[in-house]
Amino acid sequence: MTQITNHMPTAELQALDAAHHMHPFTTQDELAGRGARVITRAEGVWIHDSEGNKILDAMAGLWCVNVGYGRDRMADVAARQMRELPYYNTFFMTTHVPAIALAQKLAELAPGDLNHVFFAGSGSEANDTNIRMVRTYWAELGQPERSVIISRKNAYHGSSMGSGSLGGMAPMHAQGGLPIPGIHHIDQPNWWAEGGSTSPEEFGLERARQLEKAIQQIGPDKVAAFIAEPVQGAGGVIVPPDSYWPEIRRICDEYGILLIADEVICGFGRTGNWFGSQTVGWQPDIMTIAKGLSSGYQPIGGSIVSDAVAEVIGKCEFNHGYTYSAHPVAAAVALENLTIMEEENIVEHVRDVIGPHLGAKWEALTEHPMVGEAKIVGMMGSIALTPHKDSRARFAADPGTVGYITRERCFANNLVMRHVGDRMIISPPLVMQPDEADMLIERAWKSLDEAMAQVK
């Protein structure tokens, strides 16, 4: 058998990849046509490909490599843990030190009475846990009919049957029989695309009040929870108007429904606080975590749960769990990641240094002729591409075409930015330095110029 290594010619690696590896969210034609970019190594905010390019990763992988690439400490901890206890589970009255230590640390970091952690292998699994947990919570309280979970259109909460149903991505719902019953979607607070002639503040209130309308329509005694990201990430880094969250919190309180903050992207410093819900000013009952929890060095996720919810769930046997819940190697690596974040004051670096530095330059991208709004919270940002800023017009081409062209120009300029339709998004490693942020902006500007020349 041929040994496959980084030293093989790129075309050969790409051909083998296209022949045998099924990629998420990718067509086989695309893979077989030009081949996937082969990433070989990485350090800091930089990734390298098999063609020798050094690329600025303004997406931190998939929004996850918060402490940056190439941390030896994480590798050392993983190796040590694998030698000592590579695997054990926490089912049926067993536990281990990495699980205990990580749960304790998360309880310390999470605000308010979020003191209990149910571990999973990913954000999708954690959101599946949340569906079962909130329904079990109400059933245990004698209200089993309280089972509907309200979410938002264009939200992303994962790819499994449950989490994909919580998400509001139409192309995902078109495949495989999603959503599962009992999930209801309201509109997203995307003023740029959907606000029409209303002011952002009015629009924020109107979108928040859709939650109240939905609760009244479904019946307040049937609604279990509302789930949302503090800042909607994969939907296009949608920053809601200021009026939105206070109204949502009021409605959740008034109807006594649980509020789930999906912190898979927003958590662990990305918005300039440990958790995005702190940045937007509300206290959830449950938080979904993954990604930045281990900076992507190991697959791990979980749900951080309030005292009140944990108390109810703890009274029954919660018939739920994954083989890799609280995997000792993943837990040890996640704990090391949090230690690095604390030792290097990475949250403060986002809040006081790199967030404001990048933020000012990012917002100035609105001076580019093709950029409408530019939004950024901490280290997650988006720009809306438009042929006409004042009217917030869309391009004549199919939605996403100009975004796709811009993403391709970014790639050509050794910058990874993603597009969601005609919105460009970034979520760089939190350890980015000011000179690297300047490079990001320079490359983004150049790519926008080149895309604009192609569109005209």
Nearest distance in Å: CB 234, ligand PLP? 5
Q: Which of 118, 137, 138, 156 binds ligand PLP (CB under 6 A)?
A: 156
Q: Which of 116, 146, 157, 184 binds ligand PLP (CB under 6 A)?
A: 157
Residue of 150, 227, 257, 290 that binds ligand PLP (CB under 6 A): 290
Least CB distance from residue 428 to ligand PLP, whole Å?
16
- Closest residue by Cα to residue 227 from 177, 172, 266: 266
Q: Per rule CB under 6 A, is residue 354 in the interface with ligand PLP?
A: no
The neighbouring-strand residues paired with 116 are: 305
The closest alpha carbon to 234, from 286, 151, 156, belongs to: 156
Q: Does 189 sit near ligand PLP (CB under 6 A)?
A: no
CB of 132 to ligand PLP, least distance (A): 16
The upper half-sphere exposure of residue 174, i.e. CA atoms within 13 Å in the direction of its Cβ, equals: 3
94-133 residues in contact with ligand PLP (CB under 6 A) are: 122-124, 127
Query: Quick check: 301 binds ligand PLP (CB under 6 A)?
Result: yes
Among 57, 229, 247, 436, binds ligand PLP (CB under 6 A): 229
Q: How far is the CB of 158 from ligand PLP (least distance, A)?
A: 4
Name the helix (H) or strand (E) containing 218.
Answer: helix 200-218
Q: What is the DSSP string of 52-121?
A: S-EEEETTHHHHT-TT-B--HHHHHHHHHHHHH-S----STT---HHHHHHHHHHHHHS-TTEEEEEEES
Name the residue whose CB lies closest to ligand PLP: 123
**Interface with ligand PLP, residue 57, by CB under 6 A:** no
Nearer to ligand PLP, 232 or 447 (CB): 232
| Interacting positions 127-146 with ligand PLP (CB under 6 A) | 127
* One residue of 234, 380, 383, 424 binding ligand PLP per CB under 6 A: 234
Q: Within 10 A of 13 (CB to CB), how many other CB atoms are there?
A: 19
**CA-CA distance, 426 to 403, in Å (whole number)?**
13
Nearest approach in angstroms of CB 33 to ligand PLP is 26
Task: Tell me the two tokens of residue 258.
Answer: 């649980």
Report in angstroms the alpha-carbon separations of 3 from 6, 8, 12, 16, 20.
10, 9, 12, 12, 15
Report the amino acid identity of residue 155.
Answer: A
Pairing between strand 46-49 and 148-152? unpaired
Q: Which of 233, 296, 359, 378 binds ligand PLP (CB under 6 A)?
A: 233
Q: Which lies closer to ligand PLP via its Cβ, residue 158 or residue 359? A: 158
Q: Under the criterion CB under 6 A, does residue 262 sit at the interface with ligand PLP? A: yes
DSSP character at residue 256: T
Q: Residue 212 or residue 262: which is nearer to ligand PLP going by CB?
A: 262
Which positions touch ligand PLP (CB under 6 A)?
Answer: 62, 122-124, 127, 156-158, 229, 233-234, 262, 264-265, 290, 301
